[in-house]
Chain A
Amino acid sequence: MTTASSAAAPLVAGTLIAEQASAQIATRTHQPVDLKLEVNGRRHRLAIDVRTSLLDALREHLAFTGTKKGCDLGQCGACTVLVGGRRVLSCLTLAVATRGPVTTIEGLTGSDDRLHPMQQAFIDHDAFQCGYCTPGQIMSAIGCVTEGHAESDADIREYMSGNLCRCAAYPNIVDAIKQAKPQMQEG
């Protein structure tokens, strides 16, 4: 079980470093580092302290404020985004270590302005009250379905357990995921 990780493709890079890095040489960057990040289908370039979390990079540097900061400790799930299609907690990810395209809640709506089936399902089922956890819930719910972990109510509850909702919209969130799942699989 190994990942096909290529050390020679640093995301963090001045262009020179990107071309020269090899499996033998550590990628070396200085502060602030010049970071290229693909978010919602667009490439962004930002100068950033290497200690910055992906969450702060998205919110403070790129103004993707749809991704919420809840606990900032990895416990609440409000900051969940997709990286390379897999859900991650952006508060526990260093921006410079991020590999693969990032999708935030802002990136779900297509060019025709139609909501993603999961967004529509959250509305249809009233799967929120205050809405603060909702972007994270929706991103996590999409991850849950694409991972194949939405086969039953119990499955959904288990695999959504990292996303807390203080308004306790949990039953409606489960219903929303059940509605969106077949639509996502068709579409």
Chain B
Amino acid sequence: MAQTEFFRPGNLAAALDLLDQYREQAVIVNGGTDIVERIAHGGVRRAAIIYIHEIPELRGIGEGDGFVRIGGAVTYNDILASPLCCQFTALEQAVKEIGSPSIRVRGTPAGNLGTAVPAGDCCAAMMALDAEVVAASRQGERAIKLADLIIDYRRTALAANELIREIRIPVVPGGKTASAFLRLTSRKGQDIAQASAAVRLTLDGDVCRHAVIAMGSVSKVTVRAYSLEKAVAGKTVADAAEEIKAMVPAEVALRAADNPAFAARPTANIERQYKESVIGVIVARAMMTAYGKILAGEQ
């Protein structure tokens, strides 16, 4: 391809016009922490670079209709500075550990969701929080639940002319519900998760009435752990945690049949055994953290 053009649309409508015009020939640059090195190194070559990071309509955080609304170009640092966002402990905990301070200045949750890699910390947190994205195109908008957004490794249900205008997290009345995120990495800082879990727990007395559990880095995509959710329902938190510690959730998909790319890695066997033995513990610990938050009266 001979020519790449750079566009810095000043507002959302202009960005959507460009996206509609270039479609598959466009690459969106938001915070750029994942895509810029791929553009600069030639891994991604498109006719148009559409830079959306400074579009004012995408930079807001607000609340309305029962949701906390996070604009598509809001950065991780913006999230950490926002009490509205930090009411969701799982989100705060996930964002705090992403990359490094310099990454968090630029990187965005919307970019994390759009990139759709299994280790995306925001993907797991947002999934447990039952978030949805608002996909905008010139033709209009539609809301997509996170589980429907992420369809494969680095693939989303977004059309070529759509971008994530907003992420919406439903606000759940406090008191009996709280969330938490936990990940396992080989180093404290600057690492990606070997396994991660986000849990939103709702209590009925001392019993788990409902838990939403999402797992990262144990499949091609971020997955809901329905098997664990079923296993914990109706049990006391202590019993539930004890039980899931020893479980390998059915949604863990690291074998050749469902994940050939992972299975082809030279260390796949060892990695699989490791991930399978730790994921239950990670989920259980995240659940206990959420439980502690409920007892402490936090969200």
A: which residues have CB within 8 A of B? 1-3, 5, 7-8, 10, 12, 21-31, 33, 49-53, 56, 72-75, 77, 80, 86-89, 91-94, 96-97, 99, 140, 143-144, 147, 149, 158-159, 161-164
Query: CB-CB < 8 A to B54: which residues of A?
Result: 3, 5, 7, 99
Which interface residue of A8, A22, A24, A92 has the most chain B CB atoms within 10 A? A92
Contact A94 B101 (CB under 8 A): no
Whether a CB of chain A sits under 8 angstroms from the CB of B106 is: yes
Which of B8, B17, B36, B103 contacts A27 (CB under 8 A)?
B8
In the complex, residue of chain A having the shortest beta-carbon distance to the beta carbon of B36: A92
Shortest CB–CB separation between residue A163 and chain B, in angstroms?
8
With A91-B40, A97-B32 as given contacts, are A28 and B5 in contact (CB-CB < 8 Å)? Answer: yes
Q: A1 contacts which of B7, B61, B188 (Cβ < 8 Å)?
A: B61
Q: Which among B11, B56, B101 is the interface contact of A24 at CB below 8 angstroms? A: B11
- B170 CB–A CB distance under 8 Å: no
- Bound state CA distance, A52 and B103, in angstroms? 19
**A164 and B8 contact, CB distance less than 8 A:** no
Docked-complex contact B8 and A51, CB < 8 angstroms: no
- Known contacts A3-B54, A87-B105, then 18 further A-B pairs from the complex at CB < 8 Å, ordered by chain A residue: A5-B55, A23-B11, A26-B14, A26-B18, A27-B8, A29-B6, A30-B3, A51-B40, A51-B45, A89-B103, A89-B106, A93-B32, A94-B6, A96-B6, A97-B53, A147-B101, A158-B101, A162-B103
Report, nearest first, the 6 A-B pairs whose CB atoms are least far apart.
A7-B10, A162-B100, A161-B189, A50-B6, A23-B10, A5-B54
In the complex, which residues of chain A have a beta carbon less than 8 angstroms from the beta carbon of B102?
Answer: 74, 77, 80, 87-89, 140, 143, 162
B4 at the interface (CB under 8 A from A): yes
Please, could you name 19 A-B residue pairs with CB atoms under 8 Å apart, sorted by A? A1-B78, A1-B81, A7-B55, A12-B6, A25-B14, A26-B8, A27-B7, A27-B8, A27-B10, A30-B5, A52-B40, A77-B100, A91-B37, A92-B37, A93-B106, A94-B49, A97-B8, A158-B189, A161-B100
B82 touches A1 (CB 8 A): yes
Residue from B5, B78, B81 in contact with A29 in the complex, judged by beta carbons closer than 8 Å: B5
- A33 → chain B closest CB, angstroms: 6
Query: In the bound complex, do residue B32 and residue A92 qualify as a contact, i.e. CB atoms below 8 Å apart?
Result: yes
Q: Is the CB of B36 within 8 A of A93?
A: yes
- The residues in B between 19 and 55 inclusive whose CB is less than 8 angstroms from any CB of A are 29, 32-33, 36-37, 39-42, 45, 49-51, 53-55
Query: B174 in the interface, Cβ–Cβ < 8 Å?
Result: no
**A94 contacts B29, C-beta separation under 8 Å:** yes
**Distance in Å: Cβ of B83 to nearest Cβ of chain A:** 11
Find out whether the CB atom of A56 lies under 8 angstroms from the CB atom of B40.
yes
Query: For B10, B14, B55, B74, which residue has the most chain A Cβ atoms within 10 angstroms?
Result: B10
Shortest Cβ gap from B90 to chain A (Å): 20
